[in-house]
């Protein structure tokens, strides 16, 4: 066959598939747009689902002395973990837009006046209240208006009030399967040698001056079996890495000798496996400092609270580090090196909004794009997974080991038990709020 004929055949052989590709262009466009449309639809349904959630803010009033260890809070969190919901089929996921409900554990200091809050979906309000009374019989739980509603939604409005803000989030220094140092490590058989790990945080919050506010928030959402399965697989891989097998030739045959793990390696594996035996929550730790410009000193929060969280560090296991990409300050050395002020304002507005909404990181990239500020892409938040023991270490009523008398609002009379006939479901409202003064805006002062 002539060479020209072979070339013609090859050209036709290549052009035929190309014609098909061009003729079916609509199919390829559809396949490319399908994931985007799917993500947009899912996010639309999720937003509708979240808008229908009503919230209640419960304040925990402490007795004069709490004799229980953080073990009581660990038990309460285990009960909250049992409330976990998740979409069970395609209808619930893509039509109802169901997501796992979340809670928020919060500690605030209004000019040195410290308060403890738990924010819960209204449908679980009475359930959570009963869990608190079941584990802390002497406390009193009152429903309060949400303190963040006293502040405007937009950061520029804060500026007009003469206020400045600083905020950031924390993240793990290692993978989620590694635990932090928890409350049993602070306890001792001898009572005088026991410590309450909460004392450092209380001490920092007590140093807040009049007119200043510090808000500390732990947003928690129970994780499912998929997380446990993934972590156990990683544990098995870690076991293989820490197991050394030496093959030696003896005579005509090879013999294997297993070198045992070091005590440190064995202790790490035991700690990891113990963490996986308890209920766990995807957790965001974030805090804000709000103060008049004349008093503004972010070091109390930036250095003080970070140092308080450092006591939970176990360098051979896990530890907290600052998530600097969420910090509300931007320096020129940070990429992309331009629009420094606009990027800083974008961070402030996004983190301020995330705190107000008690928001968890978005699931999909499309959701992150939709919720981003023009100068701050909202993908910087990093959720950590902490089990009930770790969370109880970070949030619990301070025990008698902590000097809290001048700082905490307390129950004056001893409670003999939870209120008789406590409703498990209901929507009784109260507007009690800790007292603090919100500065007037410039417009209000002018009028």
Read off the pLDDT of residues 210-244 as tens digits, 9 standing for 90 and up. Answer: 989 999 999 999 999 999 999 999 988 888 887 76
| Secondary structure E strands in 197-343 | 213-222, 244-250, 253-259, 280-292, 320-323
Pick the range with the lowest mean pLDDT from 51-60, 238-247, 402-411. Answer: 402-411
Higher pLDDT, 368 or 445: 368
Contact at 8 Å (CB) between 169 and 378? no
Contact at 8 Å (CB) between 218 and 126? no
The pLDDT of 36-49, averaged and rounded, is 88
pLDDT at residue 65, as a whole number = 77
pLDDT at residue 439, as a whole number = 61
Rounded to the nearest 5 percent, the helix, strand and coil shares of the chain are 40, 20, 40
- 29-52 b/e (C-beta count within 10 Å ≥ 16 → b): eeeeeeeeeebeebbebbeebeee
The pLDDT of 276-304, averaged and rounded, is 91
The pLDDT of 86-101, averaged and rounded, is 90
- pTM of the full structure: 0.83
Calculate helix-pair angle for 3-23, 25-51, nearest 10 degrees: 30
Higher pLDDT, 184 or 249: 184
Distance between CA atoms of residues 60 and 309, nearest Å:
22
Contact at 8 Å (CB) between 406 and 206? yes
Higher pLDDT, 175 or 428: 175
pLDDT at residue 103, as a whole number = 97
Per-residue pLDDT band at 405 (split at 50, 70, 90): very low
Decide if pLDDT at 335 tops 90.
no
**pLDDT tens-place string over residues 119-165:** 999 999 999 999 999 999 989 999 999 999 999 999 999 999 999 99
Contact at 8 Å (CB) between 141 and 76? no
Average pLDDT, whole number, for the chain? 82
Is 240 strand, coil or helix?
helix
Write out the two tokens for 100.
Answer: 């796992």
Per-residue pLDDT band at 426 (split at 50, 70, 90): very low
Decide if pLDDT at 332 tops 70.
no
Q: Express as a percent the part of the chain with pLDDT over 70.
A: 78
Q: Express as a percent the part of the chain with pLDDT over 90.
A: 43
**pLDDT tens-place string over residues 165-204:** 999 999 999 999 999 999 988 876 565 556 778 888 888 8
Decide if pLDDT at 13 tops 70.
no
**pLDDT tens-place string over residues 355-400:** 999 988 887 777 777 776 676 666 788 999 999 999 999 999 887 6
Pick the range with the lowest mean pLDDT from 24-38, 89-103, 271-285, 409-423. Answer: 409-423
The count of other CB atoms within 10 Å of the CB of residue 401 is 18
Pick the range with the lowest mean pLDDT from 82-86, 145-149, 307-311, 334-338. Answer: 334-338
Decide if pLDDT at 249 tops 80.
no
**Degrees (nearest 5) of the Cα angle 116, 275, 203?**
30
| CA atoms 171, 173, 177, 181: torsion sign | negative
User: Phi, psi at residue 14, to the nearest 5°?
Assistant: -85, -35
Per-residue pLDDT band at 7 (split at 50, 70, 90): low
Per DSSP, the chain holds a count of helices (H) and strands (E) of 15, 11
Contact at 8 Å (CB) between 109 and 208? yes
Higher pLDDT, 199 or 288: 288
Residue with tokens 């007795």: 63
Higher pLDDT, 135 or 331: 135
């Amino acid at each position: 066959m002539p060479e020209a004929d072979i070339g013609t055949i090859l050209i036709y052989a290549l052009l035929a598939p190309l014609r098909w590709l061009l003729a079916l262009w609509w199919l390829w466009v559809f396949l490319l747009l399908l994931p985007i449309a799917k993500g947009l639809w899912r996010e639309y349904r999720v937003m509708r689902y979240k808008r229908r959630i009503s919230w209640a803010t419960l304040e925990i009033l402490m007795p004069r002395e709490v004799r229980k260890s953080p073990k009581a809070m660990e038990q309460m969190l285990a009960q909250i973990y049992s409330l976990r919901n998740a979409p069970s089929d395609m209808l619930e996921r893509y039509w109802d837009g169901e997501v796992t409900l979340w809670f928020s554990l919060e500690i605030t200091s209004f000019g040195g006046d410290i308060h403890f809050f738990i924010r819960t979906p209204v449908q679980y309000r009475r359930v959570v209240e009963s869990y608190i009374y079941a584990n802390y019989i002497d406390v009193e739980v009152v429903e309060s208006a949400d303190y963040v509603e006293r502040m405007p939604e937009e950061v520029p409005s804060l500026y007009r009030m003469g206020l400045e803000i600083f905020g950031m989030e924390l993240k793990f220094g290692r993978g989620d399967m590694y635990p932090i140092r928890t409350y049993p490590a602070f306890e001792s058989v001898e009572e005088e040698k026991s410590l309450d790990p909460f004392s450092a945080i209380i001490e920092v919050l007590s140093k807040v001056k009049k007119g200043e506010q510090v808000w500390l928030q732990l947003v928690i959402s129970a994780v499912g079996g998929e997380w446990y399965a993934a972590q156990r697989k990683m544990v098995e891989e870690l076991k293989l890495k820490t197991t050394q097998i030496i093959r030696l030739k003896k005579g005509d045959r090879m013999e294997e000798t297993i070198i045992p793990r070091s005590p440190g390696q064995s202790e790490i594996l035991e700690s990891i496996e113990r963490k996986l035996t308890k209920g766990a929550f995807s957790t965001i730790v974030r805090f804000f400092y709000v103060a008049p410009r004349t008093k503004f000193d972010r070091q109390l929060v930036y250095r003080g609270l970070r140092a308080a969280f450092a006591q939970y560090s176990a360098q051979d296991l896990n530890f907290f580090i600052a998530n600097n990409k969420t910090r509300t300050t931007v320096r020129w050395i940070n990429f992309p090196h331009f629009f420094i002020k606009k990027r800083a304002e974008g961070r402030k507005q996004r983190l301020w909004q995330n705190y107000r909404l008690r928001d968890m990181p978005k699931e999909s990239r499309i959701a992150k794009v939709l919720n981003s500020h023009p100068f701050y892409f909202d993908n910087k938040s990093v959720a950590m997974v902490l089990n009930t023991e770790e969370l109880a270490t970070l949030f619990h009523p301070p025990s008698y080991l902590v000097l809290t008398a001048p700082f905490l609002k307390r129950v004056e009379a001893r409670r003999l038990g939870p209120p008789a006939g406590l409703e498990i479901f209901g929507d009784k409202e109260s507007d009690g709020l800790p007292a603090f003064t919100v500065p007037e805006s410039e417009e209000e002062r002018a009028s």
